[in-house]
Structure 1
Amino acid sequence: MTLTQRFMKFGMGVGIGLVFIAMAFGPRAFSCNYFPNARVLDEAYSKRLSFSPEAQAFLKAESLDSVFLKKQLFAKSKVDFDKSKKDQVPCREYYATYESKDKTKNYEFTFDVCKEDSKLVSINKK
């Protein structure tokens, strides 16, 4: 057996092994947030999200949609843990601020995180 044949057989073995590995350990829905800010925002949006009438009116007036909420508001905001009531029962209340990169959209909002759902209580322009 020549050296090129050995490399070809080795490459075939590695290829077959990679296919089995991909099937066994394929894509998974897994995310890991290490910092408290990211954990709180992720927990709030991963649960069923409802809106107070005040928040619904503001979102409609500003023409903000659910894509903006998920990709911007609940992903790139800063939670103020000093103003938040994180030990409140049955729902923890958090205060957060959002500032866009171009400084045109600045929002302050309050949301509750309960056991099974979360609620956007209020949102205001900064």
Structure 2
Amino acid sequence: MKFLLGVGIGMVFVAMAFGPRAFSCNYFPNARVLDEAYSKKLSISDEAQAFLNAEKLDTIFLKKELFKRSKIDFSKSKKDQVPCREYIANYESKDKTKNYDFTFDVCKEDSRLVSITKK
């Protein structure tokens, strides 16, 4: 019992000393790839930008929806390509009104939305 009390006091001390930390852990390949693309600087090709403008979609939608709730098709993706890995993914909104296929690259320093089409 004394041991648990000491551990509890120690954990409180460590939390107060080091403060809260942003920490996320993704175990599944789909989540890891999307999280990596999300966390890097995102650039958008001219073709993809034209589509986003036509559909009235913004970068907030890209970051909050497209790169968070999509499913990657690993069989069609070029995940071993050098210098940037190319992934093909599908996004379907919760209410099933928006359905997009898109291609993006994940490079060492940044990520890039290459193309996006409506299904």
CA RMSD after TM alignment: 1.6
Paired AA for residue 59 in structure 1: L
Normalising by the residue count of structure 1, what TM-score does the alignment of the two structures yield? 0.82
Identity of paired residues, percent?
A: 80
In the alignment, which residue of structure 2 is the partner of 1:101? 94
Q: What is the correspondence of 1:1-126 to structure 2 with a 5 Å cutoff?
A: 18=12, 20-126=13-119
- 1:25 deviates by 4.2
Q: CA deviation at 1:67?
A: 1.6
Report the count of equivalent residues. Answer: 111
Cα distance in structure 1, aligned partners of 2:81 and 2:51: 26
SS at match of 2:74: strand
Structure 2 segments unaligned to the other structure (5+ residues):
1-7
Q: Distance in 2 between matches of 1:65 and 1:24?
A: 40
- Supply the distance in 1 between the matched residues of 2:23 and 2:59 (Cα, whole angstroms): 22
What's the counterpart of residue 9 of structure 1? none
In structure 1, the gaps of 5 or more residues are 1-13
Secondary structure in 2 aligned to 1:93? strand
Could you say which structure has the larger radius of gyration? Answer: 1
- TM-superposed deviation, 1:24: 2.2
Distance (whole Å) between structure 1 residues aligned to residue 41 and residue 82 of structure 2: 18
